[in-house]
Amino acid sequence: MSAAYLIALLVSLAGMVLLDVRHRLFLGRDPGRAVIVLLIGTAFFLLWDLAGIGLGIFFRDDGEFATGILLAPELPIEEPIFLLFLCELTMVLVCGAEKVLAARRKARA
C-alpha cells in the first residue's frame, strides 16, 4: 500500500484551486457560496457512493497505489477527496466556459 493516489488527488485538487482562484472562476469569484456548493455536491456524491455500497454495487479495489485506509466498509479515504476534486473540476469547467462565451459575445458586439 502507498499514498500515491491520495497524493496525486491532493496535488491535482491544489492545482485546480490555484487555476480557479487565479482566473476568478468559482472559488475566486465568490468563495463563501462556492464552498457551500462544493460541500453540498461532495456530500451528495458521497451519499450516492454509500447507497451503492449498501446495495452491493460499489466495491473497493485493493490497488497498489491506494493507502488502504477505510472511512467505512468499502469506502477508502481517497473517495471524498476524489469527489471534492470532481465537483471543483466541474464548476471550474462550467464557470470557465461561461467566461469564454461571455468574452466572445462581447467581442462580437
Task: Name the pLDDT band for 94 (thresholds 50, 70, 90).
Answer: very high
What pLDDT, on a 0 to 100 scale, did the predictor assign at position 105?
A: 94
Bridge-partner residues for 75, per DSSP? 72
Cβ(7)–Cβ(77) below 8 Å: no
Q: Which residues pair with 76 in a beta bridge?
A: 70
Q: Could you tell me the three cell numbers for 85?
A: 476534486
pLDDT value, residue 1: 66
Evaluate whether 3 touches 11 at the Cβ level (below 8 Å). no
pLDDT band, very low/low/confident/very high, at 66 (cuts 50, 70, 90)? confident
CA 8 → CA 4, 26, 53, 91, distances in Å? 6, 22, 24, 20
Q: What is the DSSP letter of 89?
A: H
Backbone φ and ψ for 60, nearest 5 degrees, come out as -85, 140
